[in-house]
Amino acid sequence: MITYSLETFNLSHRYAGRQQALDNVGLRVPQGSIYGFLGPNGAGKTTTLRLLLGLLRKQEGQIHFFGKPFEKHRTDMLRRVGSLIETPSVYGHLSATENLLVYQKICRCPRQRIDEVLGATGLGNTNRKKAGHFSLGMKQRLALSIALLNDPKLLILDEPTNGLDPAGIIAMRELLQSLNWRLGITIILSSHLLSEVDKVATHVGVISKGRIVFQGTISELRQLSSGDLEETFIQLTEK
């Protein structure tokens, strides 16, 4: 029997005065998977992820993390989840270590975790340099360090390769795979780039106009595509 780290049931959302942003979204993210959450710009990826984390007030549907309803166990669930939503959230006037200290105090994780995550994301030598002086790629890696700090069981990453150079994208991909393989962390990775998801994901969910139009393993998507993955993606999202 498959155990799901995350499930949503009939998740719907409408922004005031605008059309339906999400329509009965039912995500099923198997434990231990790298779940590529794909869709064109404006399809509803970020809205879904923000709803999952409680950053948007839920209107309809259910969200379950590790088999438990998120609303009732919000604090406990967030203790087991790391996230990076859209642009990196870092305090520009603090160094990388100080940024992590801010969250280490709340998460109550050991102080040595700061050095571990900084080392893992390649920011171990930034010393006292303020995060405001970091490049976008460095900020993105610092944001990932923050997401990893509490040793999460589930990582929710919204377009984590945004702003990274090609070497940074490869490094990020390798890091995510290593986290998944070595530590068994389930990863939800949203992207509008099929090629990016194709290289790392074990499972895929495709969203278009607020509706899930495909969900399954990456091999199931490949079978559906009979070779040309991009063509299938375009067909799915233009339905």
Q: Which span sits near another protein by CB under 8 A: 21-29, 32-40, 87-95, 221-229?
A: 87-95
DSSP structure class, residue 76: H
Q: Which span sits near another protein by CB under 8 A: 64-72, 90-98, 162-170, 190-198?
A: 90-98
How far apart (Å, rounded) are the C-alpha atoms in residues 120 and 144?
10
Does the CA dihedral 107-113-117-118 come out positive or negative? Answer: positive
Token output for 18: 């605008």
How far apart (Å, rounded) are the C-alpha atoms in residues 52 and 74?
10
Q: Does 89 bind another protein (CB under 8 A)?
A: yes
Binding track over 44-83 against another protein, x by CB under 8 A: ------x--xxxxx----------------xxx-xx-x-x
Per CB under 8 A, which of residues 161..190 are in contact with another protein?
none
Strand partners, 6: 29, 65
> CB 80 → another protein: shortest distance, Å?
8
Strand partners, 68: 65
Query: Judging by DSSP bridges, how do beta strands 211-217 and 81-84 pair with one another?
Result: unpaired
Tell me the C-alpha to C-alpha distance, in Å, between residue 35 and each of 6, 180, 199, 222: 10, 11, 12, 15
> CB 55 → another protein: shortest distance, Å?
5
How far apart (Å, rounded) are the C-alpha atoms in residues 226 and 133?
47
Binding track over 122-161 against another protein, x by CB under 8 A: ---------------------x--x---x-----------
Query: Closest CB to another protein among 104 and 208?
Result: 104
Query: Closest CB to another protein among 4 and 103?
Result: 103
Can you give the binding site for another protein, defined by CB under 8 A? 50, 53-57, 74-76, 78-79, 81, 83, 85-87, 89-94, 98, 101-103, 105-108, 143, 146, 150
